[in-house]
Amino acid sequence: MNLITLTNIARPPRPVTMHLPHASYCAASGKCACIKQEIATLVEDPSTGKRLPKRTTKLIPSTLRLMAGSTAGKLPEAVLQAPEVKAAITNKLVADVTPKVKTKTKVQAPSEAAKPETAAPEGAAPEAADPKAARRGRKSRK
């Protein structure tokens, strides 16, 4: 799992609060970060007319709050999937300041067979090898 760092860059400086909905954030991260809250309500039984308590569990999405100028590090990359985080980045309220890891790549020199022929044919002017050089040498006369 990749970790990211977000910084509040809102101008004028103000706190930014972003909801992390279950459908996007929890699904992308692979684990639920929602708060489970039990709600007790009274339900009327139609056959007896009595009111009976009923308990249901409700998922409350977590939130990410960045105070003015603050930085939150070590956040899961799934945070970027939340619609409010995407909107905050687009509106330049929040910036992803995760340090980019540079990887070294080997550059191989092209083989002699792959190099294009740039030598001028025998007896030709040196400009014949590079047509752009011939154009650079000319000056427009008006």
Per residue in 56-98, pLDDT tens?
999 999 999 989 888 888 888 888 888 999 999 999 888 888 7
> Distance between CA atoms of 41 and 123, rounded to whole angstroms?
99
pLDDT at position 115 over 60:
no
Nearest to 96 by CA among 111, 82, 108: 82
- The pTM score is 0.57
Tally of domains in the chain: 1
Q: 58 lies in a domain?
A: yes
Confidence category of residue 140, pLDDT binned at 50, 70, 90: low
Q: 128 lies in a domain?
A: no
Nearest to 18 by CA among 30, 28, 29, 6: 6
Q: How many CB atoms are closer than 10 A to CB 20?
A: 24
Q: 112 lies in a domain?
A: no
Residues in the chain: 142
For the residues 111-131, what does the mean pLDDT come to? 55
- pLDDT number for residue 38: 93
Q: 25 lies in a domain?
A: yes
Q: 28 lies in a domain?
A: yes
| Full residue range of the structural domain in which residue 26 is found | 3-96
For the residues 131-135, what does the mean pLDDT come to? 58
- pLDDT tens by residue, 20-57: 998 888 888 888 889 999 999 999 988 988 999 999 99
φ, ψ for residue 138, nearest 5 deg: -80, 140
Nearest to 78 by CA among 27, 16, 141: 27
Which one has a higher pLDDT value, 56 or 107?
A: 56
